[in-house]
Structure 1
Amino acid sequence: MQTVLLWLFYISSFYAFIPGIITRFFGYRVFRRGTVEGEFALTFDDGPDPVYTPQLLDLLKRYNMKATFFVVGSHAESHPEIIKRIHDEGHLIGIHNYVHKSNWLMRPKTVRMQLKRTDDIIFGITGERPVYYRPPWGIVNLFDFAKNSGYRIILWSSMYGDWRSSVGADKLTHRMRRKLRAGEVMLLHDCGNTMGADVQAPEQMLLALDRVLSEAEREGLRSVRIDEMITHERMSSSMKLSLPKRMAVAVWLLWEKLFHVVFRLKTANPSDPMLHYRLTSYQGQDMVTQDGLRLVKGDEVLELHFDNQKLFDIGRHARNEMQIAIQMIRAVQKDLPTIAQRVLDKPEYRNVKGLYGVTMITRGPEQFGFHLQDLPSGLFASSTRVYLKLLLSVIHPKGQSRLKEGSRRMEPRMLMMPVEVLISRYAPRELRSRRSSVETGLGELSVGSTAKELSS
């Protein structure tokens, strides 16, 4: 008998107690707190309630705050109109089991059935599948960690005993104000019909929440949905740089400023710099572009250089590489017309044959009118390869991982745009006739090339 009890103890510990400990104390595979300034998360369990949830939605709308509702499936099934309103007003809906029962007391199959049934109910009302799950009382079992469960477990960083009416609005207000700060995930209840709760307890919660939201508004804090908090958390983490990388970036950007001064680079748009350029003579090997233009040593060209500070800032603050791409495309499309205008207006650019550049990432420049060509082998190609790889590892948001995507794709290549292409595509129509007979040439474009390249 003692052996049986001992085995039952081991099994229950492995199934429930140990998973509970590692989630509460170590946060393993759960989300329970944010760190982004200016926002916290209101989360509500056990609803919807036909009396208190509509009042709560009115309160949130008055303060323009968003929340996450972890609903009990049977309650959602009984009040689909409230679930629809929660969804329509921009709040997030998660699962809190079909019945409010501890996962410790159910087999894995039973838990999965509860999740699926609640999932189907929410989908049938809103047309969207829930992604987030909070088990009742925050109690998890071993199988809640399964990667194929399909749900992200959300716990909390503070709770206040609001399921008991005896706490009262004043004490509840005091407790909530003490925890009103950025990153907090607040656990509250909009229904008192579950075991251990008082039916009228949400009335006191609503009184306290009204006061707390008023204070949050004064302090510049806003409540966001859990999915927003998680997204902002990832963005914030991606923007945090180690001390060595911060030092590397600082040194690199200082070098770029010196480079601009020494080589007298001009800027297409000084108020929002992206493209820099300078007049120089071509010093490479003789070559012929794809459209037949011959370029020989001594021909006048414009070098184009991207502003690496701008690239770095875009990479840090964009949510993903597609946003980087969009911002770079817009910047290039804005600056090339300015350069075309100056080529037409400035007498010193009369003999320029075109734009010339070298880039490490070579997918996308064609959309702007550039041609791509392999660098002649030699010292210049080798040194350029080292330089651009180092630069890419510093300014690109993926850093070194971007360099491991294939040696052929990451080889430096020359970019060329004939002047006639620059004028025909980017100069104002009424000015294009000025250079209708100008020969075409080249110009330099540094790493990053176009926004399309970075997104590829």
Structure 2
Amino acid sequence: MQNLLLLLFYITSFYAFIPSLISRLFGFRVFRKGKNVKDYALTFDDGPDPYYTPLLLDLLKKYDAKATFFVVGEHAERNPDLLKRMHNEGHLIGIHNYKHYTNWLMSPKLVRQQIERTDTIVFQITGSHTEYYRPPWGITNLFDFSKKHHHRIILWSGMFGDWKERIGVDRLTERMKKRLRGGEVMVLHDCGTTPGADKHAPKIMLLALENVLEMAKQEGLKSIRIDEMIELHNASKHANSVRKLQYRKEGLAAVRTGIKKVVVKLWLGWEKVFHLVTHLKTITPENPFLHYRIRPYQGKRVAMTDGKFLEKGDSIVELHFDNKKLYQLGTTSRTSVHLAIRMIRAMEKQLPDLAHLIAKDPDAAEVKALYGVTMINRGPEQFGFLVKDLPKGWFAASSAVYLRILMSVIHPQGQKRLKEGSQQMIPKMIIMPMDVLYERFGSIHKPERTAPREVTEERYEEEESGILAGNSDLSRTPPVA
């Protein structure tokens, strides 16, 4: 049950909650507001509606306002004349799925089918394909951000609760007037048949909208289409780029530093929760580096050594690096090689201690192997680990995303390292049979070892040169679990 709950938590977080949070807070791969734009944008969801949409089009025509309609495919299919009128009167048509379903409850394939089906309907009626997409309720999933997604995702900067009649004309008018300024993307609804909406709420919306359009006319503001706003937005950014280049660099660095601090805090907080839930044990509590837990193996059959196999259900020791320690090592290392050296030395100290603990642990009597997931090429092999490809699937994909984020945070070269070494940044399984662990590291009375050599400038350069020349088995990508 614990594993099932963890799996559901992972799926929900990676597939749905985190992408929506990132798009809302940081605007990642979505457009939600124009900067340095004089005019605003009216957008309408859920239509077309055979009764209210014609009234809305009449009102927009009266004030010479252009809007963007994110249509529901099945509604468009039933009202082709309204779609033609939108197109002929100069409004922009976008997609709001074929049915008003949330993307959290649909697979990537089903979302794509909803978009493609609606685009086909729009093209057959208007002769033009769509380029813009608004997911229902603005809820995105992980695959909505894929580069294969050919539609630009549009969210909003102002939402007013116009889908409920009880809001009333006066209150809705006041809410909209407060956001009436250049660059705002307002979302309203010209259809009340969506679950949770009131059927005749668009009547209230139309009355409030006329008040706002009148006020906008007096203030010299005009509603424009989303594609026009994006064009003006991009032109403004380009015009100011030279003048503000240095300022933007400094500001961006500060933002990145702030975001990184937030990410690190959330990341370390998540580790504490994960430790509590999974009851991880620490090898050396006074100087944490490796944590572990004993659990049944849940993956596919894996060949080890001497004709032995790791089977589903076999007892394993699952390894986890200490995130705080990784971050400290990463932020104080000068290069990736320096980081690798320090991690290798830490592993050399930890494995004998781990062998000692497991040998005395009665719960570990049936343990068959050490197990972990890592982004490396050769590093763990020198300790006796077998390096195996992860079976293709959700776990491998989510592990790759998580570990790439991890490396961008802890690695001395951050995103630059990810771009340069993308072919090597592949998550793999590392497995060490227990007999190998005890043979290499299992002496209870360890022989006296010399203290690790201090990494002086001369010694550091010597080790770095040796590694880069291929005289060591250290991977250019350090082990990360």
Specify the code of the residue in structure 2 equivalent to 1:80. Answer: P
Shift of 1:4: 0.9
Does the CA contact (< 8 Å) of 2:69 and 2:92 recur in 1? Answer: yes
Question: Are residues 1:222 and 2:215 paired?
Answer: no
**Counterpart in 1 of 2:117?**
117
Aligned equivalents of 1:155, 1:161: Cα separation in 2:
15
Write the letter of the residue equivalent to 1:66: K
Within 2, Cα distance between the matches of 1:235 and 1:17? 33
| 1:352-431 → structure 2 map (5 Å cutoff) | none
SS in 2 for 1:149: coil
Asked if structure 2 preserves the Cα contact closer than 8 Å seen for 1:38 and 1:220, the reply is: no
Q: Which residue of 1 is the match for residue 151 of structure 2?
A: 151
The match for 1:98 is 98
C-alpha separation between the residues in 1 aligned to 2:107 and 2:151? 18
* CA positional deviation for 1:27: 0.3
- Deviations 1:432-456 (CA, angstroms, capped at 9, x unpaired): xxxxxxxxxxxxxxxxxxxxxxxxx
Please give the alpha-carbon distance, in whole angstroms, between the structure 1 residues aligned to 2:144 and 2:198: 29
SS of corresponding position for 2:148: helix
Is the CA contact 1:74–1:98 (under 8 Å) kept in the aligned structure 2? Answer: yes
Matched residue SS, 1:156: coil
The residue number in structure 2 matching 1:141 is 141
Q: Which moved more, 1:38-47 or 1:2-11?
A: 2-11
Q: What displacement does 1:174 show?
A: 0.6
Native 8 Å contact 2:95 2:132 kept in 1: yes
The answer on 1:12 being equivalent to 2:1 is no
CA distance in 2, matches of 1:244, 1:224: 27
**Cα distance in 1 between the residues matched to 2:154 and 2:215:** 26
Aligned to 1:108: 108
Offset of residue 151 of structure 1: 0.3
Query: Do 1:52 and 1:203's aligned partners in 2 also have CA atoms closer than 8 Å?
Result: yes
TM norm structure 1:
0.53
The structure-2 alpha-carbon separation of the partners of 1:133 and 1:245, relative to structure 1 and needing over 3 Å to count, comes to: closer
Contact 1:97–1:136 (8 Å) recurs in 2: yes
- Report the alpha carbon displacement of residue 242 of structure 1 after superposing the two structures with TM: 3.8
Give the whole-Å Cα distance in 2 for the aligned partners of 1:67 and 1:244: 32
Equivalent residue, structure 2, for 1:380 = none
d(CA) in 1 for partners of 2:193 and 2:119?
Answer: 21
Q: Which residue of 1 aligns with 2:232?
A: 232
Match of 2:211 in 1: 211
Counterpart Cα distance in 1 of 2:230 and 2:244? 27
Corresponding position of 2:22: 22
Determine if the alignment matches structure 1 residue 201 to structure 2 residue 192: no
1:240-292 deviation per Cα after TM superposition (whole angstroms, max 9, x unaligned): 1444889xxxxxxxxxxxxxxxxxxxxxxxxxxxxxxxxxxxxxxxxxxxxxx
* Distance in 2 between residues matched to 1:160 and 1:211, nearest whole Å: 15
Q: Quick one: which amino acid aligns to residue 159 of structure 1? A: M
Q: What is the CA–CA distance in structure 1 between the aligned matches of 2:25 and 2:186, rounded to whole Å?
A: 17
- Matched to 2:148, the amino acid is N
TM-score, normalised via structure 2 length: 0.50
Tell me the amino acid that sits aligned with residue 113 of structure 2. Answer: M
Residues 116-157 of structure 1: per-residue CA shift (max 9 Å, x gap): 110100000001110000000000001100111110000000
CA contact 2:182–2:221 (8 Å) conserved in 1: yes
Q: Which residue of 1 aligns with 2:180?
A: 180
1:69 aligns with 2:61: no
- Cα RMSD between the aligned structures? 1.5
Q: Secondary structure at the match of 2:163?
A: coil
- In structure 1, the residue corresponding to 2:43 is in which secondary structure? strand
CA distance in 2, matches of 1:243, 1:53: 44
How do residues 336-351 of structure 1 correspond to structure 2 at under 5 angstroms?
Answer: none
Q: Matched residue of 1:110: which SS? A: helix
What is the rounded CA distance, in whole Å, between the counterparts of 2:171 and 2:41 in structure 1? 21
* Residue identity opposite 1:31 in structure 2: F
The aligned amino acid for 2:156 is: W
3-state secondary structure, aligned to 1:93: strand
Aligned partner letter, 2:116: K
Task: Look at both structures and tell me which one has the larger radius of gyration over its CA atoms.
Answer: 1
Closer, same or farther: CA 7–203 of 1 in aligned 2, 3 Å: same
User: Residues 37 and 232 of structure 2 are in contact (CA less than 8 Å); yes or no, is this contact kept in structure 1?
Assistant: no
CA separation in 1, counterparts of 2:233 and 2:79?
33
SS of equivalent to 1:183: coil
Q: Give the Cα separation in 2 of the matches to 1:70 and 1:155.
A: 11
Give the structure 2 partner of residue 44 of structure 1.
Answer: 44
Residues paired across the two proteins, number? 247
| Gap runs ≥5 in structure 1 | 247-456
